[in-house]
Structure 1
């Protein structure tokens, strides 16, 4: 099951300075998927390298959005490489990293954007296939992620073990999104597209497309009168473009959020809000291991008040929680000077116990 060799100088993982990198293919829950395997340069300890399965932030919903196909010249490279600083620190500590592309991106079908079950299933499926990738990979693992990947990680951290030999040691989530219904309701009131805000409409398109994979009523509304003519004309862009391209003025970025819905817009967004509630990380509290959450004071995607509410909920539920706030924005929290070094130390400590 090992895949093509990755080019660490300009291909996937080119921001990684330690260890080796290659693209792998593995059986997902609904068909073959792709991802990136990072192996430490150090010799494996007895029992094999411990593993972090890392979920990436939103890059889009098309095959073009797969981080395993990324390179520094790709329009989505900034987001595709967002986890490199953390992954490199883990490799220096002798920890292997698995990074799935996700269903619908590194595999067939439609990307289930922000749906906790399928996203977490992708992380767990890649862990399940570890011994097909390399016999130096062990059974101790930790699940981690950033943004959309943090949603995947939190859901995976409360799910069953991937197999009878795996042993989950913890969950590390950086800027997890929560209560998206509140954020999207606010954006729909915007009459136009402010400079630099085209990504909001692009994300709404991805949200509708992803939620419809689990909601036939929403799918019917999209096929019927749920979308405006402008949104309908750009619907297929979701199948072929990455997020940066979707956010451009000639795609979803040229449609004001308030003009995405059609005659049945009220029903359309009612179904979308229901999907948000069903897949909100605030409802995930059945963790069997410690959880770490790194949050940003100036987060434009996961606003600090909503994240603070999530942390309070977890603490009330008795979650063994470590939280750290950073003076940064959503993506900036993953810069080397912020969460990565502290998160890497916390992760390494989970494997030493």
Structure 2
């Protein structure tokens, strides 16, 4: 996790135009594709409070069958597919205040490996997440391609997906995911400290996590907080922070060669906007094809996890980037 104070996420529980595989009764919310390892766990018995987690974690065996991520799908008849990827320790629920603003698009919103309803698929890595999301796109996105949206860890996975599977990526809109430098790079090399600090904030009786994160009070969601608590393990912290620290200039240079148009955004209150500026410039100047149209922006009043702070503005930025419109005035170009 890039910023411990930003591991937070929000959103009401799933609602609206969601459609998915029917799970019985009159409910038609094709909420998910479950991992084959977790297929025996029906949604009717899964909840954020009833499932007990072990204090120890084991990695998947190499002989395990192929896996598929759990995902929510919305607006299936919309012609263009958008994939939305969450923060480290979070879940698809963090997008619940953003997805109602994007009804023009077919949305695929997974829980990434080692998280929530995809928690049986582990250990987490950028590579594993990118491979499974690419597989999801090929199987479920219209035309087998999608626009990618991510924040923090989700943004890094978007870039890793472009590096490994450029054929499925139309464009990228990502925030808080430039290569780490200085203080944050040093912090990412101390995953146990990040893990313990986050646990302490999550379990304080006075909601320190909510205060430190900057999550807008009117958008706070207890279900999402429960998911963050369940997902906050030492193993996931180690894996997520290790891959984040390793994503440096060599990775940026490789992503630039894939010809995918990338928008990087920095939250002005917490993100490294100079790093975002430099990475956006690298994508533009080192890139080939549409990568040369890449841009970097800063939203001055935004925190790290600003999809939980200004969800409507976040959605407007996504749409403007996808449609190649002028960005909203709150997006200040970094050149």
TM more than 0.5: yes
* Other-structure match for 2:137: 127
Aligned with 2:260 (options 289, 311, 333): 289
Asked whether the equivalents of residues 52 and 144 of structure 1 are also in contact (C-alpha less than 8 Å), the reply is yes
SS in structure 2 at match of 1:23: coil
Q: Which residue of 2 aligns with 1:35?
A: 70
Determine if contact 1:33/1:102 at 8 Å carries over to the other structure. no
Secondary structure of the structure 1 residue equivalent to 2:315: helix
Matched pairs, number: 241
Aligned to 1:264: none
Measured after TM superposition, the shift of residue 311 of structure 1 is: 1.9
Which is greater in Rg? Answer: 1
Matched with 1:17 is: 16
Deviation at 1:312, TM superposition (A): 2.6
Cα displacement (A) at 1:127: 1.0
Q: CA deviation at 1:242?
A: 5.7
Gaps of 5+ in 1: 1-11, 61-66, 68-79, 132-136, 203-240, 261-270
CA distance in 1, matches of 2:122, 2:185: 21
TM-score normalized by structure 2?
Answer: 0.57
**SS in structure 2 of the partner of residue 171 of structure 1:** strand
Residue segments in structure 2 that go unaligned for 5+ positions in a row: 1-10, 20-28, 38-63, 202-225, 326-335
After superposition, residues 1-353 of structure 1 pair within 5 angstroms as 14-20=13-19, 21=29, 22-25=31-34, 31-40=66-75, 44=77, 49-59=79-89, 67=91, 80-90=92-102, 92-93=103-104, 95-105=105-115, 106=118, 108-113=120-125, 115=126, 117-130=127-140, 137-160=142-165, 168-179=169-180, 182-185=183-186, 198-199=197-198, 243-244=228-229, 275-277=246-248, 281=252, 284-299=255-270, 302-318=271-287, 319=291, 320-326=293-299, 327-333=301-307, 335-349=310-324
CA RMSD of aligned residues (A): 4.3
Q: Deviations over 1:141-177 (max 9, x none)?
A: 2122111111111122233356xxxx64211212214
Return the structure number with greater relative CO, CA threshold 8 A, min gap 6.
2
Q: Is the 8 A contact 2:12 2:93 kept in 1?
A: yes
Q: Does the CA contact (< 8 Å) of 1:34 and 1:107 recur in 2? A: no
